[in-house]
Amino acid sequence: MRIAALVPFLSVSAFAAPAESDAHHDKRQAYGVTSKYCSTASGGLCYLQYYVSQTAPTYRVALPSDAAQNSAYDVVLQVIAPNSLTWAGFAWGGSMIQNPLTVVWPNGNSGQATTSSRWANSRSQPTVYSGATLKSLSSSRNGTHWSVEVVCTGCSKWNNKGLNVNGPTTFSWAFSTTAVQNPGNSAGNFPVHTSSGVFSQPLDYGKNAKTLFTNYINKKG
């Protein structure tokens, strides 16, 4: 029911049409546009970006170009969310259950954020997942948006699965508009999502020369 859940919440006119070059690779992807986003503020680091609308988070993923299938490498996740959203989550294996979840939320109005590594075996409150660790690179908040950028160690592979570095990989996402009760507690409970969805795209847009990537994650945070 993810489409039904999304439609009343998002302004339909805000949906961007998929770019022709970005054929969706997963039939479950109902909305959004994937693109390559390179940031001068990030020293030229490039990300695979997923954008749905002004009322949903934008997600950006970066990784080193030498990432090997089902191996351990760090990945960068950037989340930019409108201030109406109380938390945003990213599921590295494309579903709520049985894959690393990276969940982030603002902690107050001054730009602080809480980052939390989670795992769910059922579609209920995900528990803290120590198989992946998060290092916050930056977080900010202004009059319209909050944003968080993390490095995840442990999100590239889990069990006998991992990101697909050789073809389309499917991610999923979720967010809520209900307040997080104890936003300073990274192990605390948070409310169920108001919307969720998936997107699928080869990781190429987010691949970066190893040195550039390593310098970026070491320089910040």
Ligand X SMILES: *[C@@H]1O[C@H](CO)[C@@H](O)[C@H](O)[C@H]1NC(C)=O
Can residue 95 be called a binding residue for ligand HEM (CB under 6 A)?
Answer: yes
**In angstroms, what is the minimal distance from the CB of 215 to ligand HEM?**
29
The pair of three-digit structure tokens given for residue 204, joined into one six-digit string? 């190429």
Residue with token string 């997942």: 129
Assign 3-class secondary structure to 124-186.
CCCEECCCCEEEEEEEEECCCEEEEEEEEECCCEECCEECCCCCEEEEEEEEECCCCCCCCCC
Q: How far is residue 138 CA from its own chain's centroid?
A: 15
Residue type, 99: N
DSSP letter assigned to residue 13:
G
Can residue 196 be called a binding residue for ligand HEM (CB under 6 A)?
Answer: yes
Out of 126, 154, 162, 206, the only residue in the binding site for ligand HEM (CB under 6 A) is 126
**In angstroms, what is the minimal distance from the CB of 138 to ligand HEM?**
20
Residues in region 131-150 near ligand X by CB under 6 A = 140, 142, 144-145, 147
**What is the C-alpha R_g of the chain?**
16
> What is the spatial distance between Cα 104 and Cα 175, in angstroms, rounded to a whole number?
10
User: Which positions ≥6 away from 8 have C-beta within 8 Å?
Assistant: none
Give one word for 57, left, alpha or beta, with left for phi > 0 and alpha for psi -120 to 50: beta
> What is the spatial distance between Cα 52 and Cα 139, in angstroms, rounded to a whole number?
21
Question: 52 or 96, CB closer to ligand X?
Answer: 52
Stretch 71-90: interaction string toward ligand X, x if CB under 6 A: ---------x----------
Question: 118 or 207, CB closer to ligand HEM?
Answer: 118
3-state secondary structure of 79: strand
**In angstroms, what is the minimal distance from the CB of 84 to ligand X?**
14
Out of 97, 98, 133, 138, the only residue in the binding site for ligand HEM (CB under 6 A) is 97
Are the C-beta atoms of residues 32 and 74 closer than 8 Å to each other?
A: no
Question: 42 or 78, CB closer to ligand HEM?
Answer: 78
Can residue 90 be called a binding residue for ligand HEM (CB under 6 A)?
Answer: yes
Residue type, 42: S
Can residue 137 be called a binding residue for ligand HEM (CB under 6 A)?
Answer: no
Out of 48, 61, 62, 103, the only residue in the binding site for ligand HEM (CB under 6 A) is 103
Question: 124 or 214, CB closer to ligand HEM?
Answer: 124
Question: Binds 52, which of ligand HEM, ligand X, none (CB < 5 to 8 A, cut-off by type)?
Answer: none
Can residue 192 be called a binding residue for ligand HEM (CB under 6 A)?
Answer: yes
Residues that bind ligand X (CB under 6 A): 80, 140, 142, 144-145, 147
